[in-house]
Structure 1
Amino acid sequence: MGDIMDEQEWEMIPHKILADLRDEVHILKDKMSQPSTRKDMVDSMIELKRSIDQMHDIFKTALDTTGKDDHPEILAKLANIEKQNEQIAQALVTVAELVEQMHQKKVQPAEPEQSFAPPPFAAPPSFAAPPQFAPPRSRAPSRASMPLPPPPPPAPRKGLLGKIMR
């Protein structure tokens, strides 16, 4: 009877141990088939660093290339544009001056010159009656009774473009 008990115990322990070992083997196989998360993350970070270094090199090369003044055609075009802008500015100033002069001529209408001086002294006419076609003589209005014309309004001061846009 002692032998039978020993066999049962013996059989139980090995089956349990075998089952545990089998489970551990399956877990190890699963770990081997799936890459570790930590290792993946480290690999991804290394790859990202490499990509960033490449982009840095590309931008550095581009900056070095564009930062140099080795583009004579671009510089010549910029100088040409600068000259054209200067000519346009001078033309705008000239046009503004012409418009201002024309505006001043419109504001100052040609007023007939009024002479308040007495007529030149002349000898009285030798004939007695004035000619029939002449209007009857009337007294000229005195200076005191004539109102003064209003003064011209002051010219509004505007900037360069305001003068052109009037």
Structure 2
Amino acid sequence: MVYLKMPGSSLTQLWEGDNVHLVNLKVCDLRWSKGLIKIMDFLGVPNLEELNLRKCWSLVEIPSSIQLCRKLTKINVSRCDNLSGFPSDLRLTSLEEVKFYNCPRITQLPELPSTVKILFLYSSGIKQVTGASIGHLTRLQKLVVGEIMEEGMPSEIGFLICLQVIFIRGGGPKVRSIPDTICNLT
């Protein structure tokens, strides 16, 4: 199986047991599976490239074994209201797109690889983005944030040489400062 697309499914758990071996699985799309509480251990899906769990409101955690998915390019866990467990380190060298918006229980931005090009963070439990957390994202092209920028943007944002779009959603009127380094962006 290469594609598993079941948007809006009634699943509560993706596979029982730990002996799932889907070495050819590249895309897992379970968005809008509102009752999904638990997903598989990623040990048996080493070639996964895309994981879409958007609006899986009951989902509680993403297993740390996601680190084994070295080919993962996109992960979308937007609007996963109960998602509170997420690996603190996502240094997957193929990862290009990360969407965390409307995840109120995710309170800390995981370590991301410099390969990330698109990052959505607004309306999450993440209250601040520091230079240390995004300053190394030199390939970042699009950054969508919100209230996490209320204290101002980190000066390192001006060193993200590929950045083309910064969209401050919802929290825009509350942003207190924009660093001078933003003039470095072309």
- Is the pair's TM-score, using the shorter chain for normalization, greater than 0.5? no
Q: Which has the higher strand share?
A: 2
Q: Report the structure number with the largest CA radius of gyration.
A: 1
* TM-score, normalised via structure 2 length: 0.15
* TM-score, normalised via structure 1 length: 0.16
Q: Which has the higher helix share?
A: 1
Structure with greater contact order relative to length (CA < 8 Å, sep ≥ 6):
1
